[in-house]
Amino acid sequence: MKTKITTTLLLFLTAMIWGLAFVAQVDGVEHIGSFAINGIRYPIGVISLLPVVLFFERGRVDGAERKRTVIASIVAGTILFGASTLQQIGIEYTRSAGVAGFITGLYTVLVPIGCFLIFKHKTGINVWIGAILAVIGLFLLCYRVGDGFSFGVGELLLLLGSFLWTAHVIVIDRLGKNIRSLHFALGQFSVCSVLSIVLMLIFDRPTISGVMDAKWALLYCGVLSVGVAYTLQVVAQKKADPTFAAIILSTESVFSAIGGSIFGIDSISWLGYIGCAVMFCGIVISQLPTRKQIKQNDSETQKE
């Protein structure tokens, strides 16, 4: 019981750190460009994750596993780069942590749908119900009372980013087997760092004063969002049921909206918050296990 409580708290802490990272990203873009934010925060994340990898993964890695890790890191890191770039530019347009958090969170609904379309995996009715609720919630979130439906460039970029986050999750699932998770994480963050730095040097060229003004946002996104949160997730998910972990981690979007309101950077309407609630219900419903999955889990538990 004590282990379950600890695991739950770690997962909630991870979701909170990730959710509040949207607030930090909004703050950071007030001082430097989107490419500069990613070009600085990801290298910071790699540096913060390095001691964790050295501590938890001390064993030798054979040549075959090293090759698999490099290939997986390049593929996943490139997709991560695309997803995070679209997300950060979308945030630059919307300047809303809540909107960014909830639209990005749609990937949790899109992943099972993507697996169904690409790999013909069986998908429960709960996924389709969740998808419908997510679309309704997105409409309410983008509806402006008196102005009608408003889906701008920022929302579009965030939505496109959520499709790439979906691809990122699927790629991790397909390529992340038989390789060490922390090595994989460090590898893909390193690839993302290099690509982000290239874009930063081409398009942004941030000033030292701008970077210093954004230092807390960059440190939060780099150290806490990457180094600390990813470590907490790895530790917690070793002892947590995958479905339970997914539902807890989906509260990331809720924390983004709460953080945006507390720090006064969001101006979401009451209808928008209803949309957030509907989207969150859709996200949670899509993660619930089907009867067949429950029966399989019960039978596996009995065998053990």
Domain extents for the chain?
Answer: 2-303
Backbone φ and ψ for 264, nearest 5 degrees, come out as: 70, 30
- Per-residue confidence (pLDDT) for residue 105, from 0 to 100: 85
* Average confidence (pLDDT) over 189-213: 94
What is the 3-state secondary structure of 196-231? HHHHHHHHHCCCHHHHHHCHHHHHHHHHHHHHHHHH
Mapped onto helix, strand or coil, the DSSP state of residue 62 is coil
For residue 1, the model assigns a pLDDT of: 62
Buried b (16+ CB within 10 A) or exposed e, 212-242: ebbeebbbbbbbbbbbbbbbbbbbbbeebee
**DSSP assignment of 260-299:** HHHTT-----HHHHHHHHHHHHHHHHHHSPPHHHHHHHHH
- Per DSSP, 234 falls in state H
Choose among 91, 251, 82: nearest CA to 158.
Answer: 91
pTM of the model: 0.86
What are 75's strand-pairing partners?
A: none
Instruction: Provide the β-strand partners of residue 144.
Output: 148
- pLDDT, one tens digit per residue, over 84-96 is 999 999 999 988 8
> What's the pLDDT score for residue 84?
95
Quote the pLDDT of residue 292: 63
What confidence score (pLDDT) does residue 220 get? 96
